[in-house]
């Protein structure tokens, strides 16, 4: 299925501060403009999630990390480029993102998706996008569109049609932190 119409509608929704229900390289996600505090607040409200619980940010390319992290590891582009599965990295010293998206300790979790839809969306929108599981906080994460509750579908401003019929189950991303030596500390395998 061609997803050009979904990309156009998604970009328009994000540009207006709206929320998006969309497929990612892992599970179905709720997203918004990661630089808009008002949009991020709407995601917290939809998920009924405490603001202390962080959300992931998607970026189009590894080099984009340099724009949103003040002090990345010098080899971060090479390190992230070598991941062979969806991996979210926690970085310290987040910059130029919505304040209510950044953890109280100044950290942010970032993933570079390989999924063609996500890549196209990020490149067209030209800003980072929030990616959090499309569920009410505490409920199971939806591995397919069929697992997304009607409450979430009704709350999103735009629901992507692409991959709604997909039955392939996907897992949440691996979660890691990079130590000062450039070694990965696995938080969620």
pLDDT along the chain (189 residues), means of 10: 91 98 95 98 95 92 97 93 94 96 95 95 98 94 94 98 91 86 87
pLDDT at 128: 98
CA distances for 95 relative to 19, 92, 138, 149, 183, angstroms: 22, 9, 29, 33, 23
pLDDT at 52: 83
Q: Which residues contact 173 (CB under 8 A, 6 or more apart)?
A: 25, 26, 56, 85, 86, 87, 88, 111, 188
pLDDT at 152: 97
* Domain that residue 20 falls in: 4-188
pLDDT at 171: 79
Q: Are 99 and 35 a contacting pair, CB within 8 Å?
A: no
This prediction's pTM: 0.95
Q: Are 130 and 138 a contacting pair, CB within 8 Å?
A: no
* C-alpha span between 177 and 87 (Å, rounded): 10
pLDDT at 54: 85
* C-alpha span between 23 and 166 (Å, rounded): 10
Strand 158-159: give its sheet, edge to edge: 158-159, 20-23, 28-31, 129-133, 56-58, 108-111, 87-91, 174-178, 184-188
CATH assignment at residue 115: 3.90.870.10
Q: Residue 174: how many CB atoms within 10 A of its CB?
A: 18
* C-alpha span between 22 and 30 (Å, rounded): 6
Number of domains observed in the structure of the chain: 1
């Amino acid at each position: 299925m061609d997803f050009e119409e979904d990309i156009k509608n998604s970009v328009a929704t994000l540009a207006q501060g709206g929320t998006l229900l969309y497929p990612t390289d892992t599970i179905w996600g709720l997203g918004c403009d990661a630089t808009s505090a008002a949009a991020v607040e709407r995601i917290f409200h939809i998920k009924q999630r405490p603001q202390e619980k962080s959300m992931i940010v998607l970026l189009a390319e590894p080099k984009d990390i340099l724009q949103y992290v003040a002090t990345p590891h010098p080899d971060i582009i090479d390190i992230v480029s070598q991941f062979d599965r969806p991996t979210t990295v926690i970085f310290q010293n987040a910059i130029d993102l919505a304040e209510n998206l950044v953890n109280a300790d100044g950290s942010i979790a970032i993933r570079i998706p390989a999924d063609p839809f996500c890549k196209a969306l990020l490149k067209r929108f030209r800003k980072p996008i929030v990616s959090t599981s499309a569920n009410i906080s505490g409920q199971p994460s939806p591995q397919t569109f069929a697992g997304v509750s009607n409450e979430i579908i009704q709350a999103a401003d735009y629901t992507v049609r692409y991959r709604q019929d997909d039955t392939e189950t996907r897992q949440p991303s691996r979660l890691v932190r990079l130590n000062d030596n450039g070694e990965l500390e696995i938080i969620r395998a």
